[in-house]
Amino acid sequence: MPRPWWNRVGWALHALLRFVLILLMQPYVWSKLTLTQMGRADYSEALVMTGEKSPMGLLWGFMAYSPVIQFLAGFAELVVVLLLVFRRTAWIGGLLGTVALGTVFLLNMTYDVPVKQLALALTVGFALVAAPELPRVVRFLAGRPTVATEGSPRLLPWPRVRRVTRWLVPVLGLVLIAAQGALFQQFQPPFQRSDIALAGVYRVVEDPTAPAARLADDRRWQHVAVGQWTYVGPSLPVPGYPQTGSAGISVRLADSTVVRGTWRPVGDRTIRVEWNAPQSGATSLVEPPSGPPS
């Protein structure tokens, strides 16, 4: 008995949804695999206490502390994307993707990450991909017999054309994933360790400036933390965005204020520092500079 036309349309939309999810997931997959989404834990963050971090900053710092966890998160998303390429494994990718992106959505909600709507939309999309097979999965988990699946209908009635499209679509999907990965590696390279032996956390033991009458007004330096991971990506005209060749730096003042910025070498024994505004409240991931370099 031929299937109704709406059944064919539904499966065509199902295939389209799979490739939309593949496209939307690419930036998150490759940014985690190259350790650029959360970055790496660095000395420059050592002076910022837990209570001074925003919820998102705390989550990013947690993920950045373990490159293995960040990489495995991206690898899991890559496996999900690859499963979506093939029609017979798409439902598995839908199930795994629902769990993975559902977890991301929960983290975004509880740590106040500003892409909550996108994470929810991706979770719903993965659930829709898995939906056709969910009744059989539930019967299997309940220990009840499952019937053989009829599979999706043939969208094209021409056998010779199907012989080509049967392999063409998965090949195009794999080429799309590989091409986006190559482009991301070209335009979003990871951070590199600086070869200058300056990184570390330092305690200021001598300052010629006289102390202020009140500790709350004492602006002398107390600790300095110099980062070791240098940004080697493209420079963007975005306030607070790291520029090529720069690394993080922070200073804890005697009045407990934290000032953060970036540094870069400009000579054999000279560095150029661009300071952000003194921190007030929870720190953000991107802060505009407060004044001229020093």
- Whole-angstrom distance, CA of residue 163 vs CA of residue 243: 51
User: How big is the CA angle at 111 (ends 105 and 115), to the nearest 5 degrees?
Assistant: 50
Other C-beta atoms lying within 10 Å of the C-beta of residue 37:
19
- Tokens 């199902």 correspond to 14
> Residue 88 carries which DSSP code?
T
Q: Express each pLDDT in 249-268 by its tens digit.
A: 999 999 889 999 999 888 77
Q: Express each pLDDT in 188-229 by its tens digit.
A: 656 788 877 888 999 999 888 888 888 888 899 999 999 998
- Tokens 């539904």 correspond to 10
pLDDT at 23 over 80: yes
Q: Express each pLDDT in 101-143 by its tens digit.
A: 999 999 999 999 988 999 999 999 999 999 888 777 777 677 7
pLDDT at 281 over 80: no
- Whole-angstrom distance, CA of residue 195 vs CA of residue 42: 15
pLDDT, residue 118, reads 94
pLDDT, residue 117, reads 94
